[in-house]
Amino acid sequence: MLDELLQRVRNYSPRFMEIQEGFPEAAVLVPITRSDEPEVVLTLRASGLSTHGGEVAFPGGRRDPEDNDLIETALREAEEEIGLPPGLVEIVGPLGTLVSRHGIQVTPYVGVVPDFVDYQANDGEIAAVFSVPLEFFRNDPREVTHRIDYLGQSWYVPSYRYGEYKIWGLTAIMLVELVNLVYDADIDMRRPPEHYIHLK
């Protein structure tokens, strides 16, 4: 089952949002465990960080001048943040590039990791490392919907609740793209869900 999902990622040609030249680049790793019921590994960022503090995110960060490419950025940051050795990661392919609200161009890379890794959170950056079954997102169990207006278009982005963790924003957008790709989930962020309430 997992290999079939990964083949979809390998064959995928991600869409790229229109961006302005000169945006700083960043990359995140979307780690999927190699198991019969694959899970995605996520982090809770430390609350004291200047950007995205206290938010759920994939491990990652800004590209350093020394990084040969964005894959190296994603692997380096994952090792720094959660102690994931790059040699344990099999990069499968990218998802679509997004632009954060801080004006950073972020490219996610899906990677397969063993399901027995003992993650070591960098206390200065990461408050917790946790995993969620990928299947959890398949039926879009959103708690609320956030409308984001970008480049003249409205996007209706889900916010998920998994235990004590709230998964929203760019991380939720990446997860929707992933589950749409691997499960044909057909979660449409271009139209409001039926239960969406427009406040005037």
5: in domain: yes
12: in domain: yes
Task: Say what the pLDDT of residue 142 is.
Answer: 94
**Pick from 153, 158, 192, 190: which is nearest to 176 by CA?**
158
Q: What is the pLDDT along the chain (200 residues), one digit of tens a residue?
A: 799 999 999 999 997 666 566 789 999 999 999 999 999 999 998 876 555 557 999 999 999 999 999 999 999 999 999 999 999 999 999 999 998 877 889 999 999 999 999 999 998 889 999 999 999 999 999 999 999 887 778 899 999 999 999 999 999 999 999 999 999 999 999 988 877 665 54
144: in domain: no
pTM of the model: 0.93
Residue 155: phi, psi to the nearest 5?
-120, 135
Two structure tokens written together for 127: 């408050």
Q: How far apart are CA 115 and CA 85, in angstroms?
A: 13
156: in domain: no
171: in domain: no
31: in domain: yes
CB 49 within 8 A of CB 42: no
Q: How many residues are present in the chain?
A: 200
CATH of the domain at 10: 3.90.79.10
6: in domain: yes
47: in domain: yes
**Pick from 78, 32, 24, 50: which is nearest to 179 by CA?**
32
Structural domain including 26 reads 1-133
Domain count, the chain: 1
Task: Say what the pLDDT of residue 17 is.
Answer: 61
